[in-house]
Structure 1
Amino acid sequence: MVVGELIQEKELVIIGGGPGGYTAAIRAAQLGLKVTLIEKDQLGGVCLNKGCIPSKVYTHAAQEMDNFPHLNDLGIEVTKPTIQIDKLVEYKNRITDQLKKGVAALCKANKIEVIEGEATFLSQDRIGVEAGHDFQTFRFEKAIIAAGGKTVAPEGISSSDRIFISHDIFSLSEVPEHLIIQGGDVIALEMATTFHAFGSQVTVLVEEGEDFPFDAAVTKELRRIFKKKKITLQADCKVIQATSSGNGVTVTFQDKNGEAIMEGSHFYTTGNIAVDAAGLGIDRLGMEMTAEDRVKIDSEMKTNIPNIYAIGDLTPGPVLAVKAIKQGKVAAEILAGGTSEADLTLLPTIAHTLPPIAAVGLTEAAAQELGYHFTTSQFPLASNGYASILGRKDGFVKIIAEEESDLILGVHMIGAGAIELSGMMTTGLEMVARAEDFTFPNYAHPSVNESILEAVEGLIGQAIHMAPPRK
């Protein structure tokens, strides 16, 4: 290791070039700050290179394959498609390379200094960056930690050529014959429908006491769809161990009948995110952590060390790029002397499953727990003209509204167009919309978004394409 002789002075140092880090860097540069962005691997971080973007390449491919029966209905004669994983991997790599080059070009255009290397805090105003045999030291005025977290395997599970933890599955070179999936989280469910579409037999082992992270009505519909697709769901299981040998995997789990064993060809688990406090050097700074071992921050993304901010996966809350991006903008704006806020109350929940899911606001269970008196309306996509044209009639839109004021408390959708409509749902709730705020505008016809209008109209029994309730 060669230690640099000079300590370089920096105004703002950002550790981590993922979506939160590079967004913070660009916003800070836009506001006149001199920014140094340090990334130990690749610009775009895990999200762009290994996680969010690659996973959506796979779910998109699955959606295209799932749509082939409808093409025949339209008179477009096609035989049953098969997936060529090597070509899919090539496409994934091409997309991630294009996006990574785009991020690099944006950093250059905004005059952001990008340094490759692994950063470690040496003190509250100094940082060391190691790149191979080179080591540089910087003194900074302000810093934003956007380093994300590291994926940790659940107890009893180690990665192998047949056992995949998190994004490792996108290096798979074959379609699993029988993929066993641990957990009912969003990514696990996406992998379940994706590899089922690719031709795998899929079994999902849902942990004891765990359920899907959606409103009960959406969960019920998703379970029905899984049953129709012949995706096996086994509830109340605790995975004890997964081992690979030869041409398969052996999964040992505990259910209500005791210990059981399941054989498959491959195993997948999303894993857990942990903060690498020692690697970052924040353990020597006296940085305050939460009980969940996340970096504690205030509403302005400040840690207990005044000149150091933190955003993204290593802070409390869900592990979502949308959270990191918003926090990155807010931190940069505060550092530039402005006022800003990251209110994460109405973070949308989305899942690129087949069919897709989107939700924002309170579930029915949460509304009950908070003591709301509310009404609900559920409009089936089977009654929407454009969903019928698309051949995607599974699913519905569910609206939860406060009974007295008609304030919309939650919007939940499973079905065609759900992801694209999540922005409309979130905007409505952020603007404290009431039922009339959704029913007053004109909706393009035919379109899936008419389902939101009819779901809201259903609150007062006036949905045009839904039969009135039986008396």
Structure 2
Amino acid sequence: MVVGEMVEKRDLMVIGGGPGGYHAALRAAQLGKQVTLIEQGEIGGACLNEGCIPSKILTHFASEFRKQGHLQKMGMVMGEASIDLAKLKSFREEKIKGLRAGVEGLLRSRGVEVINGTASFLSENRIGIESGHQFSLFEFKQAIVAIGGKMVYPPGISMESPFVLTEREALTMTEIPEGLIVSGHDYVAIEIAAAYAALGSTVTLLMEGRLPFDQSIEREMKRILKKQKVSVVTEVKIMSVSDDGGVEVDYESSAGTRQVNGTHLVLCGKSEADLSRAGLDRLPLECEGGKIKVDGEGRTSIPGVWAIGDVTPGPGLAIKAIKEGKVAAGAIAGDKGEVDLEWLPAIVQMDPPVACAGWSEEEAENRGYEVVCSEYPFRANGFAGLKEETDGMIKIVSEKGTSLILGIHMIGSGAVELISAGVLGLEMAARAEDFTFPLYPHPSSNEALMEAVEELTGHAVHLQRRRKKAVQ
């Protein structure tokens, strides 16, 4: 130590103010801990400021824009609608600022000390924080690493072209692109493609693999996207990209080598852990697959150092980071908890949205289950009919003989809200009767879930069936 060096002592330090970090800080403060939260950028992290919230503003805007015809049909008189992206930008900035201020207010109200600066581990129990020209040294009892990940893009493609955008840049475009090519591997690419198609772009979606859902949902997604004039190509490998006043993309798929042209290309990256940040490479942390190995409550191999979010194994999702943050904070305060990602819901905020939890039919069979499945179309639901939102379906995967629910897969209006009932049922090891016994609001989309489960035994009331001819 340098003579005269001042070391400040802290109880719990949380490095990173994204969704995982600020939830951890708030939960620990609720449980009586003195908490210091360090964030080098804006509170809320990439999710609130650049990713989750901006993307959902775009998808919500596109969904509302698509409803014009239905509203006019009902009798709502309006002039010809147009798109003002400058106003959308102002709306987006206002909402982000408001949400961020709300989180900052919560942190203040809980007595969480917030330091704006760049944190770096100096040893297993010391952190240095650089803020402008000031450097401070802290000694901690416990620390939670919540620094998020870094976005990695396909090699060999120049990101300097004005016609090649990242997924976050695509959320803030100042004009609707005439011909948009979206390349990606998950829900982000699908959401961007569907949103801009609704706003008038001609869209080609190049997916690295299959659409990552049960095959029945995948088929319905492809049908709906085709109806919305999104050209979908799956299991794609991009060979080259050239730009000269637009973009040309050469790619390989099961159909062979093809070329697609457009005005812009959006490349959706993958979130990976960057263990060179925050001085993590100075610590003897046990890792697996390039990420920090943790137990079910977030403990690392170093006593007193915890890790959550994108730096730990599993998908780079805010919902995962939030759960891990709460569990780690609780464990530090003496509570018992566990992070179990088995029934993690998968969501796509396209129109209509996709929401799935549990195992697909194929996954259940691969795990050794003999399954019974049902499919229930939203067109059979009266509430969906009056809203003219009849695209989509619900698929239930259950175990034959026991009616244990193994998976619930939806695409349709209200699916994101409905899936919470499905997640709860999966967590409680529900059987079909646990879904069909309760009373459901009428009329509502909820009844579609009930009838999808009833259809496991062929008892969905609102599905038409061919009447069997009487035997003479």
TM band (smaller chain): over 0.9
Question: Structure 2 CA distance, aligned partners of 1:377 and 1:257?
Answer: 32
Which stretch of structure 1 is more off in the superposition, 181-190 or 33-42? 181-190
User: Could you say which residue in structure 1 is the equivalent of 2:210?
Assistant: 211
Question: Structure 2 CA distance, aligned partners of 1:470 and 1:221?
Answer: 27
Contact 2:210 2:235 in 1 (8 A): no
CA separation of 1:280 and 1:381: change in aligned 2, threshold 3 A: same
Question: Structure 1 CA distance, aligned partners of 2:460 and 2:259?
Answer: 50
Q: 3-state DSSP class of the match of 2:336?
A: coil
User: Could you say which residue in structure 2 is the equivalent of 1:238?
Assistant: 237
User: Could you say which residue in structure 1 is the equivalent of 2:121?
Assistant: 121
1:334 aligns with 2:331: yes
Q: 3-state DSSP class of the match of 1:342?
A: coil
User: Could you say which residue in structure 2 is the equivalent of 1:132?
Assistant: 132
User: Could you say which residue in structure 2 is the equivalent of 1:162?
Assistant: 163
* Shift of residue 418, structure 1, vs aligned partner: 0.3
Q: 3-state DSSP class of the match of 1:281?
A: helix
Q: 3-state DSSP class of the match of 2:171?
A: helix
* Shift of residue 435, structure 1, vs aligned partner: 0.6
Contact 1:10 1:140 in 2 (8 A): yes
CA separation of 1:432 and 1:470: change in aligned 2, threshold 3 A: farther
* Shift of residue 82, structure 1, vs aligned partner: 2.5
CA separation of 1:338 and 1:235: change in aligned 2, threshold 3 A: closer
User: Could you say which residue in structure 2 is the equivalent of 1:202?
Assistant: 203
Letter in 2 for 1:154: P
User: Could you say which residue in structure 1 is the equivalent of 2:8?
Assistant: 8
Which stretch of structure 1 is more off in the superposition, 133-142 or 185-194? 133-142
Question: Structure 2 CA distance, aligned partners of 1:88 and 1:326?
Answer: 31
1:254 aligns with 2:243: no
1:422 counterpart (410, 415, 419): 419
TM-score normalised over the length of structure 1: 0.96
User: Could you say which residue in structure 2 is the equivalent of 1:282?
Assistant: 280
* Shift of residue 255, structure 1, vs aligned partner: 3.6
* Shift of residue 178, structure 1, vs aligned partner: 0.7
Question: Structure 2 CA distance, aligned partners of 1:59 and 1:140?
Answer: 42
1:362 counterpart (359, 362, 366): 359
User: Could you say which residue in structure 2 is the equivalent of 1:66?
Assistant: 66
CA separation of 1:241 and 1:118: change in aligned 2, threshold 3 A: farther
CA separation of 1:391 and 1:361: change in aligned 2, threshold 3 A: same
User: Could you say which residue in structure 1 is the equivalent of 2:321?
Assistant: 324
- 1:401-420 map, 5 Å: 401-420=398-417
Contact 2:185 2:268 in 1 (8 A): no
User: Could you say which residue in structure 2 is the equivalent of 1:466?
Assistant: 463
CA separation of 1:5 and 1:396: change in aligned 2, threshold 3 A: same
Letter in 2 for 1:240: M
Deviating runs (4+, > 6 A) in structure 1? Answer: none
Letter in 2 for 1:395: G
Cα deviation 1:82-110 (Å, max 9, x = unaligned)? 32111111111100000000011000000
Contact 2:404 2:432 in 1 (8 A): yes
* Shift of residue 68, structure 1, vs aligned partner: 1.1
Letter in 2 for 1:146: A
Cα deviation 1:324-375 (Å, max 9, x = unaligned)? 1110000000001111111111111111011101011110010110010111
User: Could you say which residue in structure 1 is the equivalent of 2:261?
Assistant: 263
1:176 aligns with 2:177: yes
Q: 3-state DSSP class of the match of 1:325?
A: helix
1:457 counterpart (447, 454, 457): 454
CA separation of 1:266 and 1:374: change in aligned 2, threshold 3 A: same
What is the root-mean-square deviation in Å for CA atoms of aligned residues? 1.6
Cα deviation 1:105-124 (Å, max 9, x = unaligned)? 00000000000011111110
* Shift of residue 320, structure 1, vs aligned partner: 1.0
User: Could you say which residue in structure 1 is the equivalent of 2:186?
Assistant: 185
User: Could you say which residue in structure 2 is the equivalent of 1:388?
Assistant: 385
Q: 3-state DSSP class of the match of 1:87?
A: helix
* Shift of residue 259, structure 1, vs aligned partner: 4.6
User: Could you say which residue in structure 1 is the equivalent of 2:345?
Assistant: 348
User: Could you say which residue in structure 2 is the equivalent of 1:303?
Assistant: 300
* Shift of residue 260, structure 1, vs aligned partner: 4.1
TM-score normalised over the length of structure 2: 0.95
Contact 2:11 2:34 in 1 (8 A): yes
Q: 3-state DSSP class of the match of 1:182?
A: strand
CA separation of 1:448 and 1:36: change in aligned 2, threshold 3 A: same
**Structure 1 unmatched runs, 5+:** none
CA separation of 1:403 and 1:260: change in aligned 2, threshold 3 A: closer
* Shift of residue 245, structure 1, vs aligned partner: 3.5
Question: Structure 1 CA distance, aligned partners of 2:447 and 2:4?
Answer: 63
Contact 1:68 1:80 in 2 (8 A): no
CA separation of 1:74 and 1:30: change in aligned 2, threshold 3 A: same
User: Could you say which residue in structure 1 is the equivalent of 2:109?
Assistant: 109
Contact 1:287 1:295 in 2 (8 A): yes
Number of aligned residue pairs:
465
Cα deviation 1:126-161 (Å, max 9, x = unaligned)? 111112222111111110001100111111234343
Contact 1:155 1:240 in 2 (8 A): no
CA separation of 1:396 and 1:258: change in aligned 2, threshold 3 A: closer
Q: 3-state DSSP class of the match of 1:171?
A: coil
Letter in 2 for 1:392: E
**Structure 2 unmatched runs, 5+:** none
Contact 1:118 1:129 in 2 (8 A): yes
* Shift of residue 272, structure 1, vs aligned partner: 1.3
Q: 3-state DSSP class of the match of 1:236?
A: coil
